[in-house]
Amino acid sequence: MSLSRPSSAPGAPGPVPPAARRPGRRRGALAGTVVGALAGALALASCDEVPLQVQDPDILDPTAFRSAAGMAPLRAGAIGDFALAFAGFDGVVVVSGNLADEIRATDSFESRLSVDARAVSEINPEMEVSYRNLHRAHNSARVAAELAAEFQPQPRFLRGELYALRGFVETFFHELYCDGVPFSRLDGATPEYGEPSTRAQLLARTTASFDTALTLADTSTRVRWLASVGRARTLLNLGRPAEAAAAVRDVPTSFRYQTTHSTTSLRQENRIFDAVSQTRRYAVASRDGGNGLPYLQTPPDPRMPWTQPTPPVTGFDQRFTNLPRQLKYPGRTSPVTLADGVEARLVEAEAQLALDTPAGRAAMTELLNGLRTTAITPALPRLTAPASQAEAVDLLFAERAYWLWLTGHRLGDLRRLVRQYGRNPESVFPSGALPVPRTGNYGRDVNLPIPFEERNNPKFSGCLNRSA
């Protein structure tokens, strides 16, 4: 059951000039956390505020969730909010791939084209929706976990899963956005505005979410492994690869946690497929901006399946022609992997890379070869250990990009290449002249700005830091 609904359709109008915006009508992330409650209130009142006598079965009174019976729909709603923020039309997978080198915008909306061009204004309607959906997912997981502790304390792993999902939302905030994301609350009539988070504060919050998930996992290996992979991802973002490897040591390569999708409602669909293959407002990229990796190989790498449609297809803006089609998500019900055992082995490989020794590079290569020969069919050719550390970094991050293609990891990896491995941003992000049919050059953004609507928060005045 849906507890909140997408706040904008993918075909919404383009950017609204600042002068045309009415301050009293702006909605920041805080407003997005209570959309479901507001919808319920509106559904129960007519225009003259006299309650109607007919109840809408799709809208539940918020007090109904304050019971053991209310926990199942509340938890389902939180998981649905997460899936929408992660695999929605302008969700984490699509937006992060667009700013990185996995996806390119083929839309007529400058709000999406500007992300692809690495020149993103904080006034951006589509990115506002993306940001609000993440905050809604974060708040939904928090509320569901807190109420479950009171009304359904057992089994504990159900709360553990919600804390793990909350941790992944916090991970996405760190990997997609500039420093300064605030976390506000509206549990009663008075909003509690959040302070802008520094990088250290956000990563500490993320670590705490995954640690709580692990504490509550109990006998659920599924939740424990999910939280372990998430915690390892956070430790990599902290630059602590040895600890990250230790966190996933017990995660089997066969493990996979996915969001599931259906055609029951637009909200529940795999909208990566919709964005990239159906409406074609985006297209998968290869060698994007010169620095991008060759994702669309011939013959296709089985980790990155694609085809060239016949007859040729165009983008939403028909200037973009002869577009390839990704086959990783062939339909609206395709599941999307959030965390798996393959990522666990890649984390272990990075810990070996961090040793910066010939033996470490050899061990890293053996871990990569283990995946190439056992985790994919048909098996891939074995790799040779790189001779230098720089070549080993290139190899590991290329293998991460191929294994984790279109799962929302690549932007975070590009930022880590800059922040932790000393790479020049213009050598890892798409750069130079924009590809035909566009004109001009790529900008220099390495993350998304926090949307203008967040300035409704009196404690927030903009990004703290736009660096990687």
pLDDT in tens, 21-51: 333 334 455 644 433 333 333 232 333 334 4
How far apart (Å, rounded) are the C-alpha atoms in residues 426 and 429? Answer: 6
Residues 6+ apart with CB under 8 A from 63: none
For 33-60, give one letter per residue: b (16+ CB within 10 A) or e. Answer: bbbbeebbeeeeeeeeeeeeeeeeeebb
How far apart (Å, rounded) are the C-alpha atoms in residues 396 and 347? Answer: 10
Query: Which two structure tokens, joined as six digits, stand for 385?
Result: 């250990």
Which of the two residues, 14 and 96, has the higher pLDDT score? Answer: 96
Instruction: Select from 427, 430, 424 the least CA-distant residue to 117.
Output: 430
Let me know the angle formed at the C-alpha of 104 by 101 and 109, rounded to the nearest 5 degrees: 140
How far apart (Å, rounded) are the C-alpha atoms in residues 413 and 378? Answer: 26
How far apart (Å, rounded) are the C-alpha atoms in residues 138 and 164? Answer: 11
DSSP H or E run through 39: helix 35-43
Instruction: Name the band, by pLDDT with cuts 50, 70 and 90, for residue 64.
Output: confident
Confidence (pLDDT) at 6: 32
Report yes or no: 261 and 269 within 8 Å, Cβ to Cβ: yes
Residues 6+ apart with CB under 8 A from 318: none
Instruction: Select from 30, 8, 126, 108 the least CA-distant residue to 448.
Output: 126
How far apart (Å, rounded) are the C-alpha atoms in residues 377 and 302? Answer: 7
Compute the average pLDDT of residues 98-117.
98
How far apart (Å, rounded) are the C-alpha atoms in residues 367 and 399? Answer: 11
Is the pLDDT assigned to residue 163 strictly greater than 70?
Answer: yes
Report yes or no: 241 and 350 within 8 Å, Cβ to Cβ: yes
Instruction: Name the band, by pLDDT with cuts 50, 70 and 90, for residue 90.
Output: very high
User: In a 3-state reduction of DSSP, which class is residue 449?
Assistant: coil
Confidence (pLDDT) at 71: 94
**Fold annotation for 28-262+413-437+439-456:** 1.25.40
Compute the average pLDDT of residues 132-154.
96
Give one word for 292, left, alpha or beta, with left for phi > 0 and alpha for psi -120 to 50. beta
Residues 6+ apart with CB under 8 A from 357: none
User: In a 3-state reduction of DSSP, which class is residue 266?
Assistant: helix
Confidence (pLDDT) at 65: 82
Is the pLDDT assigned to residue 17 strictly greater than 50?
Answer: no
Instruction: Select from 354, 151, 123 the least CA-distant residue to 235.
Output: 354
Compute the average pLDDT of residues 11-29.
36
Query: Which two structure tokens, joined as six digits, stand for 253?
Result: 């390569």
How far apart (Å, rounded) are the C-alpha atoms in residues 170 and 183? Answer: 10
CA 268 to chain centre: 16
Q: Which of 65-69, 102-106, 292-296 has the lowest mean pLDDT?
A: 65-69
Percent of the chain with pLDDT over 70: 87
Report yes or no: 252 and 341 within 8 Å, Cβ to Cβ: yes
Is the pLDDT assigned to residue 332 strictly greater than 50?
Answer: yes
Confidence (pLDDT) at 186: 84
Compute the average pLDDT of residues 92-111.
98
Compute the average pLDDT of residues 401-430.
98
Instruction: Select from 369, 318, 311 the least CA-distant residue to 345.
Output: 369
| Claim: this prediction has a pTM higher than 0.85 | yes
Is the pLDDT assigned to residue 423 strictly greater than 90?
Answer: yes
